[in-house]
Structure 1
Amino acid sequence: MRILLLLPLLASAAFGGGPSPEIGFKMHTLDLGRNEAAAVADVNGDGKLDIISGENWYEAPNWDKHVFRSIYFWNNYIDDFSDLPLDVDGDGDIDVVSVGWGGRRIVWLQNPGKGQGMWAEHEVDAGSPVEFAFLVDLDNDGKKDEILPQFGGREGVTSWFEAENVGGKVTWRKYDVSDRLYGHGIGAGDVNGDGRNDILTPKGWLEAPTDPRKGSWTLHEDYAFEKHVGFLFVSDVNGDGKNDIVTTYAHDYGVMWLEQGEKDGKRTFETKLIDDAWSQAHAMTMVDLTGDGYPELVTGKRLYAHNGHDPGGREPLGLYWYERIDNGRQTEWVRHILHYGGRVGGGMQLPVVDVDGDGDLDIVAPGKGGLFLFERR
């Protein structure tokens, strides 16, 4: 069944709204160490975007490696599942918020000013394993400076964090939105079109109150996943004015979107498969690669997400982007292959940023096989 899915993906090019010409990328190998998380930011203030991944940051334009922290390795994992660039202390340079599973904590690494040397580590939260985290805009001020973690385990609460900087002293505020956890996967976006970003979970979405810091978040069980999903994105996939949900199975086969509809006055979501030819699409980014005004989907297979024990866990790695095509009758998706086989996959994050400042978008792909930059040509 997984092979048959390739036919509609390829056949969609035959409809009137055909796919864009193939976009060219040049691959650069930055490091062959195990770096599953990555971020892009100007670390040293020279006006060039650098790459942060694992224990190192890589200085543009030659990608010179600088060690800035020490991370512990456990059971074939490096305990760094998300790197989030944020000026936490308000001093004008970029710090890094990092989350880990084995260490069961969230920390922030303080940039000494030019990125040189080892960075001081400060604890944000401890006691729960963290699968991954996002920078999100939950107070709807136009800035993604709140932290939304996906806590692991069965016991705990769903929460988000923000830093407060008063007189140079940083404190972190934790806001609980639910007294329980909902499983593997999390995201944020405006589901109901009220202008406020909601929180998405595998078992439904939490509607944001007018004041996200004080109000109650309401759970709507309009959908539910039985398998572990990864990142949950909100996007109007079919252009009907309703925001849909795009996600992946992080530890099985499946890339999919959930079409928002309405029946008997109630909101509904219908699952529509994009691809199930490969497994372990743990990280995902939605961004407009083609310039057509619609976001594309960038994702890839994570190497040994559960040490080879997931379905398809020992099959070849791949890095892909999916283009949305409206053929006038239904929404199709075309899969474009960035890399197949070898060491390149999706890891835990996939930053898509104009890294080299030439006006187009590049892709940073970390993973257990190494750290790679796909430069748009």
Structure 2
Amino acid sequence: MLLFSGGLASLAAQGDQPPTFKKIVLTEKFHAEGAALGDIDKDGKGDAVYGPFWYAGPDFTKPHPIYPAQDHDPNGYSQNFVTAVSDIDGDGWLDAWVMGFPGAAGHWFRNPGKVGLAAGTPWEKHLIHPIIDNESPTPLDITGDGRPELVFHTGGILGHASPGDKPTDRWTFRPCSEGNVGEKYTHGLGVGDVNGDGRKDFLMAAGWWEQPADPTALWKKHPFKFGGGGAQMHAYDVDGDGDNDVITSLAGHGYGLSWFEHVKKDGAIEFVEHPILPADAKASLDGVQFSQLHAVELADIDGDGLKDIVTGKRHWAHGPKGDPDPGGTPFLYWFELVRKSDENLQPAARVSYVPHRIDDASGVGTQFAVGDIDGDGRADVVIGSKRGGFVFLQQPPGR
């Protein structure tokens, strides 16, 4: 989730050298598989959120409590799959969203404000919804009211939940689909304007749901197979031809990362797959290959105005013996989007991705955050995984 980001320095200003990152270890304890960033204490400096703690920037050395801490065995699972921050109750302080194990409840925790933060007061816990299915529930503003809703499915129905006049009460779920869209362990979910009508649509591995002009109507499903189900899915104009394409990992517990080119056939929207990381474990992109891309974000890492892909390997997703290559190196990478300027080529043919390693000992969990956490105009990354919690600060050129 991209939060707390500002204008980013361009790669050209960095001497055309790929960015480097300084790694800060928040903790090596397994608390969560999600993370967030934002100015929790309103001191003008970005902070990191990992599991039951927030860590004050700019040094991120001291954990401050949000909810009672529990260490988890990396052979098992945490009760924190997705973390986000926003001002839910409108009091000016960033609150924390926590989505638990798939099929479990989601909650938000109320920031206690200046006095409570100074005293280390635990944050009040409030229910969002008792059953949140899918492994990538997504907080995002769907309705255009400036406040994020939570996108997920429950009981096989895709929709979004939002708070009422009293956000401490259980949120209202707005159904957007017919039933049978998935179950609690379904992989792949995203939000973006697929058809260019200015309204955000839903993305899943089985297709996309078109948001209607009538907010009370069900959304129209357009079937298409975007792989087998990966992680966060994104709508973005990869090839610069004016319409949004789709970016997704192909299998949250396998291999593959692709972008799907938006094309028109007889006036209808269809997609053409362009692999980035091959689905074949024996193939690679410039020698780079890893499995279990269970968290995927888009952000302009190098400041060239194009959104790059940030992803990595989820370490021990099902323990040390589950899934393909469970003991493989827990990589964290960003894939630089490059567009050739050759006008003789079709837009899709101008596109390539260049892999750049950020780290080889953190991996990803099921969600992470990208944004300018230290206020220097460069995109940073905050990771929560079974290896612990980490902040990666993008460094100035030459460092």
- Structure 2 length normalisation: TM-score? 0.83
Q: How big is the shift at 1:224?
A: 1.0
Measured on the aligned residues, the alpha-carbon RMSD in Å equals 2.0
Unaligned runs of 5+ in 2: 1-14, 279-288
> Are residues 1:209 and 2:208 paired?
no
Q: How big is the shift at 1:102?
A: 5.9
User: Which SS does the other structure have where 2:106 is aligned?
Assistant: strand
Paired AA for residue 196 in structure 2: G
- What residue is the counterpart of 1:36 in the other structure? 33
Q: How many angstroms apart in 2 are the aligned matches of 1:165 and 1:171?
A: 11
Q: Is the 8 A contact 1:94 1:111 kept in 2?
A: yes
- What residue is the counterpart of 2:373 in the other structure? 355
Aligned length: 350
Q: Which runs of 4+ in 1 moved over 3 A?
A: 71-75, 127-130, 168-171
Paired AA for residue 313 in structure 1: P
Structure 1 residues 228-268: Cα deviation after superposition (integer angstroms, max 9, x where no partner): 21111000111111210001121110111111112233221
- What residue is the counterpart of 2:231 in the other structure? 230
Give runs of aligned pairs for residues 36-115 of structure 1, distance below 5 A: 36-63=33-60, 64-70=62-68, 73=72, 76-101=76-101, 104-114=104-114, 115=117
- Structure 1 length normalisation: TM-score? 0.87
Higher mean displacement: 265-274 or 121-130 = 121-130
Structure 1 residues 285-304: Cα deviation after superposition (integer angstroms, max 9, x where no partner): 10111222110111111111
- What residue is the counterpart of 1:134 in the other structure? 138
User: Which SS does the other structure have where 2:40 is aligned?
Assistant: coil
Paired AA for residue 228 in structure 1: G
Question: For residues 129 and 234 of structure 1, do their structure 2 counterparts lie closer, same or farther at Cα, with a shift above 3 Å needed?
Answer: closer
Q: How many angstroms apart in 2 are the aligned matches of 1:108 and 1:251?
A: 28
Paired AA for residue 70 in structure 1: P
Question: For residues 207 and 103 of structure 1, do their structure 2 counterparts lie closer, same or farther at Cα, with a shift above 3 Å needed?
Answer: closer
- What residue is the counterpart of 2:389 in the other structure? 371
Give runs of aligned pairs for residues 238-253 of structure 1, distance below 5 A: 238-248=239-249, 249-253=251-255
Question: For residues 136 and 102 of structure 1, do their structure 2 counterparts lie closer, same or farther at Cα, with a shift above 3 Å needed?
Answer: closer
User: Which SS does the other structure have where 2:248 is aligned?
Assistant: strand
Unaligned runs of 5+ in 1: 1-18
The structure whose residues are more often strand, as a share, is 1
> Are residues 1:258 and 2:260 paired?
yes
Higher relative contact order (CA 8 A, sep 6+): 2
Q: How many angstroms apart in 2 are the aligned matches of 1:93 and 1:319?
A: 31
Q: How big is the shift at 1:124?
A: 1.4
- What residue is the counterpart of 1:13 in the other structure? none
Q: How many angstroms apart in 1 are the aligned matches of 2:164 and 2:46?
A: 26
Paired AA for residue 255 in structure 2: Y
Q: Is the 8 A contact 1:20 1:290 kept in 2?
A: no
- What residue is the counterpart of 2:332 in the other structure? 319
> Are residues 1:305 and 2:317 paired?
yes
- What residue is the counterpart of 1:15 in the other structure? none
> Are residues 1:189 and 2:202 paired?
no
Q: How many angstroms apart in 2 are the aligned matches of 1:97 and 1:256?
A: 29
Q: How big is the shift at 1:150?
A: 5.5
